[in-house]
Amino acid sequence: MPFAVCLIAAGLAQPSRIASVLERCGIPVWTPSSAGADEGGIYRNAICLVIDMPGDAGVRTLRLLRQYGIKTPALLIADSGYAPGPAELGDAWVLNVIPRTADPREVLRWIECMCVTRGLLDRLHAAEEDCGALVA
């Protein structure tokens, strides 16, 4: 499975700069064509979701995705000064809320962690399948 990030960015006065940062680092970016689109399972198959939306729109979008059963790890990019608390996030399972004005390397650090984790899990699953094939 390829390592790619699903970027959901909408409603911003300026386009999200996250996509260009990721692409310059060689990380493919998948972007849904519309709010309800899940072309090819991009939400579930992405290494992580990066949601860059103003106000509480990112939290609402992530909560909706969670209601649809999408459990992909998520980062929220938020307006400066906006820090949703545990009550607002509920069971949205957010890795971190990063201010839009933060250094983009903060997002890259999280994505690097997700790539390493996915790589380890893929190797573990492959080893389990190899062991299963030997037993059968």
What pLDDT does residue 133 have? 63
Structure tokens at 73: 């790890």
What pLDDT does residue 80 have? 83
pLDDT for 62-110, tens place per residue?
988 888 888 889 999 988 888 787 777 777 788 888 998 888 888 899 8
Domains (ranges, CATH) in the chain? Answer: 5-135 (3.40.50.2300)
pLDDT for 8-49, tens place per residue?
988 887 777 888 888 888 888 888 876 566 666 777 778 899
Residue entry with tokens 């999280």: 110
pTM: 0.81
Cβ neighbourhood burial of 96 (10 Å; 0-12, 13-18, 19+):
middle
